[in-house]
């Protein structure tokens, strides 16, 4: 029994290392984009933002590591196969790059001066967006950051999928749009709002085209669930 438990732990170590490295790379890269233009590590909004996203991330990681490590393996390190999506990936990174740089300069030159309660409230919405993503992943084991289908994949119509066809993107939209305010910048909201809106529309249209052609029953699901991203709007 102890031997089997030891083997199980050892089999999960590479996964823990891999995901830890990815999180550290995000923190280093985003930290450079935020703290360098800010010219100070006293950019307290960044530290609050990091705590807001890292604590639920840790709990989520530990939950899946214990209960469904295969899910983590399937969802980590996979590359986008759809050619039409690769330029959109570059656009996504570019939007965050610009938004983070503006947030850093905003802190240095005091362009926005948001009240503390708005920063805290925005972090709560960031957390809400993250929770929507987690609920979606719980409802749909096939939810992924890349566009693909599996042999045993089925159309999910329960939980958040009753409301919109892409609830993970809905959660991501909340997460992303409140990020610049959580970082204390009105000005950084401009690239996030314009860029992410355009990115989501293009990605969802392409993804639905792919799913209609490759996932049985998805076309019928689209007819039953009218809204793609935001209820009563789109």
Mean pLDDT across the stretch 195-210? Answer: 89
What pTM did the predictor assign?
0.87
Whether 171 maps to a domain, the answer reads yes
- Indicate the angle between helix axes 116-139 and 167-177, nearest 10 degrees: 160
Domain range for 17: 2-224
Whether 114 maps to a domain, the answer reads yes
Query: What pLDDT, on the 0 to 100 scale, is given for residue 71?
Result: 77
Whether 234 maps to a domain, the answer reads no
Alpha carbons 123 and 183: distance in angstroms, whole number: 9
Query: What pLDDT, on the 0 to 100 scale, is given for residue 40?
Result: 95
pLDDT-derived band of residue 7, with 50, 70 and 90 as boundaries?
Answer: very low
For the chain, the domain total comes to 1
One DSSP character per residue, 17-61 reads HHHHHHHHHHHHHHHHHHHHHHT-TT-HHHHHHHHHHHHHHHHHH
Whether 232 maps to a domain, the answer reads no
In the chain, the percentage of residues whose pLDDT exceeds 70 is 91
Hey, what are 73's tokens?
Answer: 């393996």
For residue range 149-187, list pLDDT tens digits in order. Answer: 777 788 888 889 989 999 999 999 999 999 999 999 999
Whether 207 maps to a domain, the answer reads yes
Alpha carbons 188 and 103: distance in angstroms, whole number: 6
Q: Comparing 77 with 95, which gets the higher pLDDT?
A: 95
């Amino acid at each position: 029994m102890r031997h089997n438990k030891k083997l199980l732990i050892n089999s999960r170590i590479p996964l823990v290392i891999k995901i830890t490295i990815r999180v550290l790379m995000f923190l280093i890269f985003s930290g450079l984009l935020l703290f360098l233009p800010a010219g100070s590590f006293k950019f307290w909004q960044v530290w609050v933002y990091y705590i807001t996203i890292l604590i639920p991330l840790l709990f989520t990681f530990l939950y899946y590591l214990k209960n469904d490590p295969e899910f983590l393996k399937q969802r980590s390190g996979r590359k986008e196969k759809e050619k039409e999506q690769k330029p959109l990936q570059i656009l996504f990174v570019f939007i965050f790059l610009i938004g983070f740089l503006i947030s850093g300069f905003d802190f240095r030159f005091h362009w926005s001066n948001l009240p503390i309660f708005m920063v805290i409230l925005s972090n709560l919405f960031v957390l809400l967006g993250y929770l929507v993503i987690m609920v979606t992943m719980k409802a749909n084991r096939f939810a992924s950051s890349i566009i693909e289908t599996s042999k045993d994949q089925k159309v999910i119509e329960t939980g958040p999928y009753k409301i919109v066809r892409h609830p993970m993107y809905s959660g991501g939209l909340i997460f992303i749009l409140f990020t610049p305010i959580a970082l204390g910048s009105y000005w950084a909201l401009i690239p996030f709002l314009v860029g992410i809106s355009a990115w989501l529309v293009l990605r969802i249209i392409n993804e639905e085209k792919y799913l209609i052609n490759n996932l049985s029953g998805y076309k019928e699901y689209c007819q039953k669930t009218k809204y793609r991203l935001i209820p009563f709007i789109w």
